[in-house]
Amino acid sequence: MAYYFSEPSRTFNEYLLVPGYSSKDCRPDGVDLRTPLVKYRIGEEPDVMMNIPMASAIMQAVSDDRMAVALAKEGGASFIFGSQSIENQAAMVKRVKDHKAGFVRSDSNIRPDQTLADIVALKAKSGHSTIAVTDDGTAEGRIVGIVTSRDYRVSRTPMDAKVSEFMTPFENLVYAEDGVSLSEANDILWDHKLNALPIIDKQQRLTHFVFRKDYDSHKENPCELLDSQKRYIVGAGVNTHDYRERIPALVEAGADVLCIDSSDGFTEWLKETLAWVRAEYGDKVKIGAGNVVDKDGFRFLAEAGADFVKIGIGGGSICITREQKGIGRGQASAVIDVAAARAEFARETGYYVPLCSDGGIVYDYHMTLALAMGADFMMLGRYFARFDESPSARLNINGTYVKEYWGEGSNRARNWQRYDHGGEGRLTFEEGVDSYVPYAGSLKDNVGQTLAKIRATMCSCGVTSIPELQNNTKLTLVSATSIVEGGAHDVILKEPGAGVK
């Protein structure tokens, strides 16, 4: 006969955290929100850590290169959506990796015999105003000069003027020799009041640029998430159909971590995809997988080689999988069950597999609950879709600003690969809706406020790190009546601005 779980399927809204003893050292500015993104041997350091426990969802309406840069500046990671062409997704990944680096390879190069018209066209294509002039117009050529926006005026300089006529020639350049440290390069930038410093090898070839704006950006964003080359860390979603072509392209573009994006991760398709990755790349390519909602699903993916496991079916605000198919589980119950299975797996194998809670977040405090129940980070869709940096359109509906937000299982996204079980290769029915979310402004402001709430809550629980939160927190179920008690009640709320003259 069928197996019946003894406990009801519970949501985050049915739990509260119970305060713990807080010492004087338990202050918000002392809370450490770093968390592992990929599995590691217990006692060793993970290969990839996040500085905050937030990832943006693998969705068309949420995660493109602009979102990835904005979130990486705050310390989190985006997973660029995979329901697009391989070329487009790889290009988005590359733009993130090229956006910020201590040492940047020049991808805007020109010959000295070309013209201002070529400079203008190249700037429009790349968006870069600093252009290297090399003898053959390639990044590997011998550098003969540099052109910046200060070297010409489109309104006065003839469009057919040769680059050699207005560039800053090599003999007038301030540069550093190949092998200089980033710290030394930044000192030269400041000493000479430069915006860009070329790094030159012994053959007079340009190896990299170091930009002043990157230094300024780091000072403004001390938690930014960077790889070993000082580039932003970025993830990307893949599916179980074209992974043999998509994954190599994403790896070549520089993706730091991948995630198999599937509505049901407990399938042979997932196992085959993970096996292919391990056969082709070993452990060099980091790849998570999901989604699952119980211990059996976790065990399956962990043993198959997933670097993290994503939890959640049907809990997203735009997801209607539970309505359409009658499958899923309350997100709190799913996280608690999978976390217990993860602990058992760690005791047996010595490996810690991070958990990603995907869906079910309505209020900011639900994130702290997810972490306390065992998640290492959250993947958020609706939350990030509200911000300026999401790729969807901002609209004014009846005087209220909103942003469009649609599910990957909607007819608009048509991401059949995420929901397919070897069927017809198309969506036969919707598992997501097309909707609006209230516009909320910039990512930086909103993420900052959310993290302030998480840190304050952790201090109230007497903990200063996510592992402490997971191991030392007390949680209680709440009744329907106590949920009402937790909000404003038995008062007459003032309208905004009432009583103000």
Q: b/e string for 467-490 if b means 16 or more Cβ within 10 A? A: ebbbeebeeeeeeeeeeeeeeeee
d(CA 80, CA 71): 12
Say if residues 186 and 161 touch (Cβ distance below 8 Å): no
Three-state DSSP state, 89: helix
State residue 82 phi and psi, 5-degree precision: -100, -5
d(CA 209, CA 132): 10
d(CA 52, CA 29): 14
Amino acid at the residue 396: N
Q: What amino acid positions are annotated as catalytic residues?
A: 319, 418
d(CA 131, CA 409): 43
Other CB atoms within 10 Å distance of the CB of residue 99 = 19
Q: Where would I find the H helices in 110-211?
A: 116-126, 163-166, 182-191
Residues in the chain, how many? Answer: 501
Q: Where would I find the H helices in 224-267?
A: 243-253
